[in-house]
Amino acid sequence: MANARPDHRLSKRIYDARVPALREQLVQLQVRLKESPAKVLLILAGEEAGGRSEVINTLSGWLDPRGFETVAFREPSDEERERPLMWRFWRCLPADGRLGIFAGSWYTELLRSHDGPPRKPAQTARLVERIRHFEKLLSDNGTLIIKVWLHLSKAEQRTRLAELAANPDTAWRVTPEARRQHRLHDSLARTAARLRKATHSPGAPWVVIDAADSRARNLAVADLIVRKLAAHLKRVDSAPARPPRPAAPKSLKPAGLARLLALPLDQKLSSAEYESKREKWLGRLNRATRAAQTANRSIIFVFEGWDAAGKGGAIRRLTSAIDARDYRVIPVAKPTDEEKAHHYLWRFWRHVPRAGLVTIYDRSWYGRVLVERLEGFCTEPEWRRAYGEINDFEGQLAEHGTIVVKFWMHISRDEQLNRFREREKTVYKRHKINAEDWRNRRKWAAYEIAVGDMLALTDKPVAPWHLIPANNKRHARLQILKTAAKAIEEALGL
């Protein structure tokens, strides 16, 4: 772990002499950053009275305010509490070309010691894992993560608190909590050092900066940003251009493909049978979703499947069992430019439902390992990473209590052809088919491989895949109703 040890007691003269060049470098780098697909996340943590807000204020005076923002995290709002822990951080991540300064972050949560029952070691370990995973995801996505720990010894902290207390404008900052942290300085510092070590990683290393002298501290932080950002932009600039079209895919886990191909598709269900059973399952699904709402559990349905597999129709039947005020259907099409400026999961995190509500994703994050993999919209390392990122995302949802129900609607290639032709013949369905659908159809075998890998690599107990044979629409719809009702009942222990 790097330890930047600036000279103590830097004179104002030297400081003033060095600042203009530093400012110039910072602003120049911001100009370059703005044009790049990189983003910067500066996380400031440290001992009480180490000067986090002074550093931010100083940086604010040096940086171009148009290219950065400070995000402070206080007590979570109710909208935040009703979602997984990391939701509040996802919603505030800097976009491409921007610098986000996080005053408070997941480390506030990790280091929190002063309220509530103490966290168990296993909980701490899980949170550390969560943080490592999140930072790796961001770093892999081109985010430069700079984590600064502003360090004060106990003696220095005492001096600093006394200075703050003596000034009527800053005395308010010496709160009982600050005094408590001072008393516990050494034990807190040991814990913090341990947690820094546990969350120190190549893409998100910690840098400890001595905060005893405020001028030296400010310069050290700015120097660090300049050095890291310059190196990062150089790396980004020299990254190879997007590789050519991917070759025909090879199966990563043939078991998934085998599972897919083994699915029988010739089910029959008469109209009369369907009608008679539908009401029963609609009722059960309705009761199950209401029970989930009463229990403040939210539900996420994921619909994936071949073009024309009947996702839209199935979603309509499913939603007919849910109060229209409780669900939202998110059709996943081309991302907006705000979405494109973030990690691919960002646009899905946006729509994670509040407690007791339902989000239905009509296509989803699985696009990353299907269309994006096959069309070369992302690189091979990107889609290969995605399986793990997705499992982690769904794991966070499940850990929060969200019930995740994923459907793959499966039809045969012949059935798809029938449906495409049918669509072309029906006036009000014609808009549902276009040249791209025909193009995708020609890649059927490649898609089968990608779907198989998806099934094999993201079928987890907390978020299993339900394969729905869908050549027979009625059968598929009924099975979706049944599966949904049972999955919710089981999650609720009904």
Q: Return residues touching a copy of itself (CB under 8 A).
A: 23-25, 27-28, 31, 53, 56-57, 60-61, 64-67, 69-70, 72, 74, 77-79, 101, 103-104, 169, 172, 283, 286-287, 290, 312, 315-316, 319-320, 323-329, 331, 333, 336-338, 354, 362, 427-428, 431
Q: Name which of 250, 249, 257, 248 is nearest 456 in CA terms.
A: 257
Q: How far is the CB of 20 from a copy of itself (least distance, A)?
A: 8
Nearer to a copy of itself, 119 or 351 (CB): 351
Q: Minimum Å distance from CB 66 to a copy of itself?
A: 4
* CA 41 to the chain's CA centroid: 15
**128 by DSSP, 3-state: which?**
helix
Rg (CA), the chain: 27
DSSP character string of 67-126: GEEEEE--SPPHHHHTS-TTHHHHTTPPPTT-EEEEES-HHHHHH--SSSSPPPHHHHHH
Task: Tell me the closest approach of the beta carbon of residue 22 to a copy of itself, in angstroms.
Answer: 10
Report d(CA 156, CA 160) in Å as an integer.
6
In the complex with a copy of itself, the residue whose CB is nearer, 77 or 271, is 77
Q: Ramachandran region of residue 422, left (φ > 0), alpha (ψ -120 to 50) or beta?
A: alpha
The nearer residue to a copy of itself, 457 or 476, going by C-beta atoms, is: 476
Cα four-point dihedral sign 76, 79, 85, 88 = negative
Angle CA 138–141–142, to nearest 5: 95
89 neighbors 106 (Cβ within 8 angstroms): yes
DSSP class of residue 243 equals P
Beta strands in 174-255 (DSSP E): 206-210
The span from the CA of 407 to the CA of 303, in Å, is 5
55 or 491, CB closer to a copy of itself? 55
Q: How far is the CB of 64 from a copy of itself (least distance, A)?
A: 7
Q: Which is nearer to a copy of itself, 386 or 405 (CB)?
A: 405
- Nearest residue (CB) to a copy of itself, 133 versus 419: 419
- Residue 428 Cβ vs a copy of itself, minimum distance, rounded to whole Å: 4
Q: CA 321, 300, 363 angle in degrees (round to 5)?
A: 100
Tell me the two tokens of residue 475: 């059968």
Shortest approach of a copy of itself to residue 323 CB, angstroms? 5
- Joined together, the tokens standing for residue 281 give 């399952």
Judge whether 33 and 162 are in contact, CB under 8 Å.
no
Q: What's the closest the beta carbon of residue 311 comes to a copy of itself, in angstroms? A: 9
Give the shortest CB-77-to-a copy of itself separation in angstroms.
5
> Which CB, 233 or 449, lies closer to a copy of itself?
233
Task: Choose between 79 and 275: whose C-beta lies nearer to a copy of itself.
Answer: 79
> Shortest approach of a copy of itself to residue 246 CB, angstroms?
28
Q: Which is nearer to a copy of itself, 190 or 280 (CB)?
A: 280
